[in-house]
Amino acid sequence: MTPSSWLLLVTNLPGRKQALRMRVWRALKAAGAGMLRDGVYLLPASEPARRLLDEKATEIQEGGGSAQVLPLASEHTQQTAFEALFDRSAEYAALLQRIAAFRRSLRKIAEPEARRQLNSLKRDTASLGGIDFFPSDGKDALEQSLTGAEQDFTAKFSPDEPHAAQQKVARRTAREYQTRLWGTRQHLWVDRVASAWLITRFIDNEATFVWLAKPSDLPRGAVGFDFDGAEFTHVSELVTFEVLLASFGLDGDEALQRIGTMVHGLDVGGRSAPEAPGFTAILAGARSKAADDDALIEVMFPVLDLLYAGYGSEQAKNDGASPRNAPKRASKVSRKGR
How many Å apart are CA 227 and CA 85, to the nearest integer? 48
Domain coordinates in residue numbering, the chain: 5-84, 89-157, 174-319
First to last CA, the chain: 54
Mean pLDDT on 1-5: 58
- What is the per-residue DSSP string for 256-286? HHHHHHHHHHHHH-SS--TTHHHHHHHHHHH
Torsion of CA 218, 219, 223, 227, to 10 degrees: 0
Task: Provide the pLDDT for residue 328.
Answer: 53
Task: Provide the pLDDT for residue 110.
Answer: 87
What amino acid occupies position 84? A
Q: Check whether 289 has a pLDDT greater than 70.
A: yes
Task: Provide the pLDDT for residue 3.
Answer: 47
Q: What does the pLDDT look like over 158-170, one tens digit per residue? A: 777 777 777 888 8
Distance of CA 60 to the CA centre of its chain: 33
Question: Which range has the worst mean pLDDT, 46-50, 80-84, 319-323?
Answer: 319-323
Task: Provide the pLDDT for residue 111.
Answer: 83
Quick one: pLDDT band at residue 1, thresholds 50, 70, 90? very low
**3-class SS of residue 248:** coil
Which burial class, exposed, middle or buried, applies to 305 when counting CB atoms under 10 A from its CB (0-12, 13-18, 19+)? middle
Mean pLDDT on 39-58: 95
- Considering the segment(s) 5-84 as one domain, its CATH architecture is 2-Layer Sandwich (3.30)
